[in-house]
Structure 1
Amino acid sequence: MKQILMLLLLCACCNVSAQKKLDNANLECQYQYIYVKDSLKKIMGEDDRLILLVGPKLSKCASYHSIQVDSLQENPKRREIFDAEFKELLRTGVQPRHKRMKAYVYKNLPEGKMTVTDGLTMQDYIYTDSLNNIDWTISDSTKTILNYTVQMATCNYRGHYWTAWFAPDVPVSDGPWKLHGLPGIIMEAYDTKAYHHFTLVGIRKVKDMPIVMSKAYVGTKKFEKTNRKSFLKMQRQYLENMTGMIKLETGIDLDPNSSRKVLTFQPLETE
């Protein structure tokens, strides 16, 4: 079933449209993202890497692997590449390039808010989220990350209790995923139960690196507008019954015997 799903996703990624430039980044941060895929069996998910691009007007955070897939969409030979990678999957079991974290977070787009795009099975969605809504408590605790002295802060945010370490010497009020709002770049963040862990592994100044609005490449090739709570509800339905969601969106029943399962993955937002 996984191979059939992968083929559906690859075939859905054929039409291409140009990406819209939003800003030029002057700072690039790379984060290792580790998460627990199955909280009951303590199975870890795929190791992901997030790229945070920060510009004068806004920032964008997305998975490096998702960005690479987007780049591949622009390649005129993308069909041949997808076919070759799928054949390799059938032959060796090595997965083709694929998106990992599907969320793209644009902070301060529109001004004073966040725009988020995210995907389930065969459809991409877009919604507007609130900004500057995290109530951090800053403590005196410090440690060192990448030769920067970082300070601890904690908060309750979207169903998890977070500990973050920020660098006052890099006065950028941003961080991985939706985390933001501290007087310095967030260099590490994790929830109390260690379901999700972001760690800065690289930071550099850049010049004229474009920040673009990534396009939808699956389903109708257009983002379906929704709101955050509606998306989270659909996401939970997907996590509990993936094949049911695929049938709902495509009419294709990959597993007639599938049924709703106990949710063992703890999403970044559990509200």
Structure 2
Amino acid sequence: MKRTIILFFLLVSELNSFSQNLSDSAYIQVTYKEDFARSPDSPKKMEFDEMVLNIGNLCSEFYSKRENQIQHIRDSVFALGGDISQAASLVADIPRSYQYYHVYKNYPSEGMLTYTDKVLFDSYRYEEPLEKPLWNLLSERKDIQGYSCQKALAAFKGRKWTAWYTTEIPISDGPWKLSGLPGLILDAVDSDSLYHFYCVGIRQLKESIPINIKRKFIKCSKQELYGKRKQLDEDLVASLKSMPHITNVIMKDPEKTTKKYIDMEVPEPTKK
């Protein structure tokens, strides 16, 4: 399988050098397990998710496999005329991570990044230039999933990252917003160990998966989305009251609905 993936990548790269009319569809899928902390006040209380990186010729998409599966089931139920209770019963046994975000690199155009996320009942989207970390390449090596990997360090988006990448798959991509190395990132962890992505599988897709945004989103800035997510975690009552169709909110134990917000990307201080 390893040799097949490498040969397939070389073939696609050669074809792509002659034509830019190839469809934006994934031909390789990378699966990562993720350990992450929900609250900075309890950094040792880790939660888990399974993340997917779909890689195409021109762009890529990164998302939670669990939450994507739940959304797909819900959409299918509603399309058939089902209701919320029917959808809830079908997804009840799927472990939740509540990580709704998707990261699209080189989308909607080369050099751009699109980020989507959901806050309560609304889905949001922002675009920004695709920023690549300034990596410091080290000589240390280890094997991951049968691939020889090299270590790299970078400060990026407010956190210090350690990554392991393989030049055996010369795709400059990786989990979340990480990219910019001369090979695919198979492992990445921040210095506080709040977020850790580690590859558990790489496969060539028998049927390509389209990479595009089908759902409708509210366009916003990165700062606006951060503010909404922060308010949701730190003051659920205020978030619910801000919804136009909700007029009154009563919580039995309001203290349990608040917690300190943590984000993978540390925002820059607001300029006065």
Change (3 A) 1:212 1:74: farther
Q: RCO (CA 8 Å, sep 6+): is it higher in 1 or 2?
A: 1
Shift in Å, 1:40:
2.7
Q: Distance in 2 between matches of 1:212 and 1:78?
A: 27
Contact 1:65/1:99 (CA < 8 Å) preserved in 2?
Answer: yes
Please, what TM-score do these two structures have when normalized by structure 2?
Answer: 0.79
Q: Distance in 2 between matches of 1:198 and 1:156?
A: 16
Structure 2 equivalent of residue 166 of structure 1:
165
Contact 1:122/1:246 (CA < 8 Å) preserved in 2?
Answer: no
Contact 2:166/2:184 (CA < 8 Å) preserved in 1?
Answer: yes
Structure 2 equivalent of residue 239 of structure 1:
233
Change (3 A) 1:212 1:98: farther
Q: Distance in 1 between matches of 2:203 and 2:141?
A: 22
Q: Distance in 2 between matches of 1:232 and 1:38?
A: 15
Contact 1:24/1:207 (CA < 8 Å) preserved in 2?
Answer: no
Structure 2 equivalent of residue 8 of structure 1:
none
- The structure having more radius of gyration, on CA atoms, is 2
Residue 141 of structure 1 pairs with residue 137 of structure 2 = no
Count of residue pairs brought into register by the alignment: 238
- Give secondary structure in 2 for the equivalent of 1:74: helix
Aligned partner of 1:253: which letter? V
Aligned partner of 1:255: which letter? M
Structure 2 equivalent of residue 205 of structure 1:
204
| Alignment deviations for residues 111-167 of structure 1 (CA, whole Å, 9 cap, x no partner) | 211011111111110000221331111111111101111011111111211101001
Q: Distance in 2 between matches of 1:126 and 1:85?
A: 25
Structure 2, gaps ≥5 residues long? 1-22, 268-272
Structure 2 equivalent of residue 196 of structure 1:
195
Structure 2 equivalent of residue 30 of structure 1:
31
Structure 2 equivalent of residue 154 of structure 1:
153
Contact 1:70/1:214 (CA < 8 Å) preserved in 2?
Answer: no
Contact 2:66/2:95 (CA < 8 Å) preserved in 1?
Answer: yes
Aligned partner of 1:100: which letter? Y
Contact 2:60/2:211 (CA < 8 Å) preserved in 1?
Answer: no
Give the alignment's Cα RMSD to 1 decimal: 2.5
Shift in Å, 1:55:
0.6
Match of 2:76 among 64, 70, 74: 74
Q: Distance in 1 between matches of 2:67 and 2:81?
A: 15
